[in-house]
Homo-oligomer: A and B are copies of this chain.
Amino acid sequence: MFELHEQLKEDTVTVGQFKLCLVLLHKDANYPWVILVPKRSKMREIHHLAQEDQLQLIRESSHLSEVMTSIFTPTTMNIAALGNVVSQLHVHHVARFSDDPAWPGAIWGAKPAKAYDKEVLEERLNRLHGSLVGEGFEAHCGVDDIMGSSESFTP
């Protein structure tokens, strides 16, 4: 059975889910940073997914990148599956700007996380909810969850 890793619960708020992946917004306000987690148990690497899931992952990833590009108009998108610290397969989607705190370096470990203002976070979640149509997207609109963890979400 799929269960979200405790660290990912801790670090993110839930935006919703696609057919394959949970869609999580990282609580670090330094960057628009969304994480996809395939809802498959004990999965560590992209190449361990069934081939059909791999194809669905890139569809959902590209759809998310398009939406983030249209909402945030970044300089570029950073897409990465690392898994050195949290072994559960998860794919980072970070909208990068030439004036963001870590540019042009990678974001991981670069700067201390910055907390969101509640209004900014709500507005960001609302924009994602309004644009992530397709690939079976279902929004998760639990208001209680917005400033807390995403523990209450059981996909």
Contact = CB atoms under 8 A, between A and B. Distances in A.
A65 B45 contact: yes
A66 B45 CA distance: 10
Interface centre among A76, A87, A103 (most CB of B within 10 A): A76
A6 B84 CA distance: 30
Interface residues of A, number: 35
Interface centre among A65, A77, A103 (most CB of B within 10 A): A77
Copies of this chain, whole number: 2
Interface in A47-72: 47, 51, 54-55, 57-59, 61-63, 65-66, 69
Interface string A76-109: 1111111111010000000010000001111011
Contacts of A76: 44-45, 82-84, 87
Contact of A81 (B46, B79, B83, B104): B79
Interface of A: 44-47, 51, 54-55, 57-59, 61-63, 65-66, 69, 75-85, 87, 96, 103-106, 108-109
Given A46-B62, A82-B106, 15 more contacts: A44-B76, A45-B65, A46-B77, A54-B58, A55-B58, A76-B83, A77-B81, A77-B83, A78-B83, A80-B106, A84-B96, A84-B103, A84-B104, A105-B108, A106-B108
